[in-house]
Structure 1
């Protein structure tokens, strides 16, 4: 499978996981040069029309969803008998792993995660797509701290006829009561699951636990969750009320849209408490008193912690987010058989509900109380009124009211006339008078974190709102660099001050990633705010294969965020190419050397050999690496001085004591040596030696020795 290219474009590389109906590979988009995740349907399902239709539906549904908080689906198709989906390759860690490692998370961080998930769900719901499997394993925390919702593998359009077995899909710890009972599902089903995700994030544990899926599913239908603050006293009451409203048993009692939930979480993060209380005012009563640690109360595993930007934890250490997701999909497949039993829960749950209702009518002896109206009372009067009914005073907040004078209660939660169990705590808001009744001095927020800025504004009765980030080379990124109202100026209490966070100087230095592996280098480049161009691969004698040789722009150079950086990754030392060696025996040395150089070789004359001779042997024949040295052996020529036939005594080769000779002619290949004055003609191959004055003619191959004067 590793050599397969799907759709003529997507190169399938190493396998990173397998699930119930698909296998996931790391791949390469050969057109854009980027790493992708490729999900292919298992062969046994590819020929099943119903599974093929489901796979196609998943791809079409997911590809239509465009959000920074949803994993991107780039492409999908069919190649021969293989159905495939091409997705964004994620880096980071899943939320479940983060909770396992750190325990309960900080309330602000949980609200930020929840608001991003709500925005992702809002996009899906507007396309009539219900995710149906929202859980921490499907929430990936990216290196920049933002999240991505993944795995729309069991998502379906609201009116789709596919996957009718609603009750067996999803995970028991996070499914809604209506999903457990096999009822029709709407957007509020995802909101319920998101409530459980936030519950787990602030407490470190799921609200309903059991030995098997059926037990957990029945608890989803029948049992009320413990308020998160009983498990983690640090949970903010406002966030607790938001979570519990998401987890109401009746869909009608929850937030009705993901947008509504997002706006409420946004208000909570901005410190607009009144807006949060209004959004949760219809929440049915829950005991909110913080019990002392004891039986039935399980504390958060490690208090609260902030979610890290980048973590690889537990058995997923060293894996990318896509690889984690693939492994988790395989885990889901292993549990599939066990979860099938949820298919019968609809009937079982209905019977259980009837029994519970009957017991409630006939045998419930919990003392109930009616919450009085506290509006217009002072704090002391409210305490007395609540105590008379067996209720307790809860959290006290202060705000501005045009209708109630300073010191009087103008809002309460739960609301008046609600029937609640005795011991329920009632939270109140006490008026500070009309919002324009007084002015306050605007504090200096420079260099504060958003949390500290909000806190400092609240201390003087002002509200805070985060504006668009601004470049500021003097203020650390993420801290306040500017504000809408000058520090020290006077404005009315209750007004909103907008603060602006620094995005840094706008330029960053390109990190030095030389000698780091490609994935690590790519991650560091992206974390620094740069974009990655397609990786280039080059030969290097000094850098190990797979590691970065250099980048362009070079390390240390300052450039605008978003600038494209190219990684040059080593292929290791270049292996010389083997090519044919020309056969140059019988060539003159100069011709032989030229022929070898033309083919990229290096000719070497053997020691003691003459460049004037012809090549009689070469050290290498056949093939050799380009640039190899070829040693040539030559034979010294036997005729070193040409005979001219002239009588000039000063000419070389003429004895001044002899009589002048008649010019002769030498024809053919002659390897003999002629000494003295020669006036004869030598024809053919001659290997003998002629000495003295010769004026005859020698024809043919001569092997003898001629001495003296020849007259034949």
Structure 2
């Protein structure tokens, strides 16, 4: 007779067994899913690494190549030529690549640019040359002289210069015989000759104002005085050269300055003959003629000479000098 264990058939015991079975099934399912996901992740990482390897590569080494060869090699390697510059180098021949960026020992994105530097060779020191003396030359002569000396000429605007022939150079920027590098610029200035300006109009100006106006315009002034009934005393009657005439600076302008109206003419009288007259007689004649007498010689006696010839027309009030000589003393009889 079969005996049944009641404990095994209890409801509580059955629930526990079912729960364990369910947990076991879930564990198996999770394991299968995990394996599948891990496999997918490993596969994706491998593909990403392979793609990254395809996007980057090592730039070619173009150092030592010519400029054109370097450009061709860079293009063939799947890169682009970037900025190409030049620099002096005493180690790399002219026209050859000195350096590059990025370098050949690095990684760079495919299709990116590569910059490189090309040698200009060794810097040459310019030769030293002597600056020629340009003073006295024309512009053409100066330019020829500078060109022969391997210098650069620079003509400045001509200016007025006293004492210098028009068109001739009288100034240069670098002194003659100075040693400079070939290619140095030397400027020079040619003369326009003496500067001419218009003479100012000073008519009717006061004397001092007229002089100031003319000297301010670089003219010299000479003064001549004369009578004028129409121009006030002290003012300019006229000038020479005339106003607005173009004259060289330093020219002398002569001004005629008014002394005012001329005085009324004096009455003219004939010079008397004073010869042999005594002092008293001579004084009387002078007074009557409206003249003045001055005596020289003896204190008394007769006139033996006069300073103005008798009969000469002179202004009333003129002074005549008379020479007096004593009369000889007559011997008396004893």
The TM-score, its normalising length taken from structure 2, stands at 0.33
Q: Which of the pair is proportionally richer in strand?
A: 2
Mark the structure with the bigger radius of gyration. 2
Higher RCO structure, 1 or 2 (CA under 8 Å, sep 6+): 2
